[in-house]
Amino acid sequence: MVSEDKGMRPSMAVNLGGIQMRNPVNTASGAFGFGWQFEGFYDVGATLGAITCKGVSAEPWEGNPAPRMCEVTSGILNSVGLANPGVAGMLAKSGEYLQGLEAAGCRVIVQAVGHSVEEYVAAVERLEELAPWASAVEMNISCPNIARGGKLVGGTPEDAAEVVRAVRPRVSRPLLVKMGPVRVPEIARACEAEGADALSLINTVNAMSIDVHTRRSRLSRPTGGLSGPAIHPIAVRMVWEAANAVRIPVNGIGGVATWQDAAEMILAGATSVTVGTANLYDPVAARDVAAGLEAWVAEQGVADVNELIGAVEC
Ligand SMILES: Cc1cc2nc3c(=O)[nH]c(=O)nc-3n(C[C@H](O)[C@H](O)[C@H](O)COP(=O)(O)O)c2cc1C
């Protein structure tokens, strides 16, 4: 529908698989802390549609040794290794703040990680017990599976289906599955078939950077995950593939730094758009994306952002 009054603000509310968001803007797991780290820059609870917390396991994980982050052209490489304080540790420090975000209308998505199906189940059970107030649970299926020699837990449609099947009955609220940048249409369909309510993609892209003086990897491990503007066009393509493969909504992630990047994701088929690495070098990036997106929707002459989801013409 074309908006009759150009002066009226468009409706920006979206429904991401049962998560009612005031606007489509979310922040990426691991690249926005637990939200409170950004309070000195803007009012997170009054501004964002949602935040996605750093992935947590049932018990704390140390992660990989330093150096675990380095800058590359148009992005960063990280090998953090999913270091996290565990469910109870996260909630001891950030639980009260996160509940305040929910009360302010900013949806909180807690994220579970694991190295095996059993570890995912343990993490979501702890989240059900200790964080029942969070709007949704996301499972990051791009973790290495220890029993299978470090292969990604959700690296094939069969493996993704197995872990979603195990977790789904244990989560009483919307379940998002965070996918890596591999076999997107098939894995998206496998997650949908097992009851995922929405898909988040993409996670980082496996990459490498070498110090030519020392001839060593610039990280403590040979490879790491590439994020930031460098991966944006890859992410747009994969979001478009996923949105065309499934009926459940897609949360678009990857190199979103400006409202134009976010608008591209929406046109490609994303219902919500997530800002990650950009927060690390521009702490008000997500706020500015939310404001710019609203102005773009108005400028497009539509009354509701939902009219633009998947509206790319190819
Ligand atoms: C330092 C760092 C830590 C991350 N930790 C997680 C994590 O715990 N779980 C997860 O699903 N993704 C994690 N990610 C990936 C991001 O959530 C996001 O999918 C990826 O960075 C691509 O988006 P971007 O280009 O906007 O950063 C991490 C990324 C960075 C840079």
In a domain, 228, yes or no: yes
Whether 143 is a known active-site residue: answer yes
Residue for token digits 């690495």? Answer: 277
Per-residue confidence band for 81, with pLDDT thresholds at 50, 70 and 90: confident
Q: The domain spanning residue 111 has which CATH number?
A: 3.20.20.70
In this prediction, what percent of the chain has a pLDDT beyond 70? 97
Name the band, by pLDDT with cuts 50, 70 and 90, for residue 5: low
d(CA 9, ligand 1 centre) in Å = 32
Q: How many Å apart are CA 312 and CA 314, to the nearest integer?
A: 6
Whether the CB-CB separation of 66 and 124 falls below 8 Å is answered with no
**Beta-carbon count within 10 A of 216 CB:** 11
Would the pTM count as exceeding 0.95?
yes
b/e sequence 30-65, b meaning 16+ C-beta within 10 Å: bbbebbeebeeebebbebbbbbbbbbbbbeebeebe
Task: Determine how many CB atoms are found less than 10 A away from the CB of residue 72.
Answer: 16
User: According to DSSP H, which parts of 151-273 are helical?
Assistant: 157-167, 184-193, 232-245, 259-268
Q: Which of 37, 77, 84, 203 to mutate to test the pocket of ligand 1 (most atoms within 8 A of CB)?
A: 203
In a domain, residue 9? The reply is no
Compute the distance from residue 246 Cα to the ligand 1 centre, in Å: 23
CA of 55, closest atom in ligand 1: 8
Pair 253, 266: CB distance under 8 Å: no
Instruction: Please name the residue whose Cα sits nearest to atom 21 of ligand 1.
Output: 227
> Is 104 among the domain residues?
yes
- ∠ at Cα 274 (16, 308), nearest 5°? 60
- How many Å is the maximal CA-CA distance in the chain? 63
Nearest-atom index, ligand 1, CA of 52: 17
pLDDT 10s digits, 118-146: 999 999 999 999 999 999 999 999 887 76
Ligand 1 site residues, Cβ closer than 6 angstroms: 28-31, 54-55, 76, 78, 80, 82, 111, 140, 178, 203-204, 227-228, 231, 253-256, 276-277
Residue from 53, 106, 143, 191 carrying the catalytic annotation: 143
pLDDT over 90 at 63, yes or no: no
Number of domains making up the chain: 1
Report yes or no on 60 lying in a domain: yes
Residue 41 lies in a domain: yes
pLDDT digits (tens, 9 = 90+) for 172-211: 999 999 999 999 999 999 999 999 999 999 999 999 999 9
- The whole-chain average pLDDT of the chain stands at 95
Number of C-beta neighbours around residue 151 at 10 A? 13
Select from 25, 176, 227 the residue to mutate for testing ligand 1; criterion: most ligand atoms less than 8 Å from CB: 227
For 229-283, write each residue's pLDDT tens digit: 999 999 999 999 999 999 999 999 999 999 999 999 999 999 999 999 999 999 9
Give domain status of residue 7, yes or no: no
Query: 47 with 70: CB under 8 angstroms?
Result: no
Q: Give residue 29 CA to ligand 1 midpoint distance, Å.
A: 5
Give residue 55 CA to ligand 1 midpoint distance, Å: 9
Q: Which domain holds residue 217?
A: 14-308
Retrieve residue 70's tokens: 């380095």
Q: Is the peptide bond before 202 cis (omega within 30 degrees of 0)?
A: yes
Is position 127 within any domain? yes
Q: Is residue 1 part of a domain?
A: no
Alpha-carbon span 305 to 24, nearest angstrom: 9
Name the nearest CA neighbour of 210 among 63, 72, 66: 72
CB atoms within 10 A of CB 166: 16
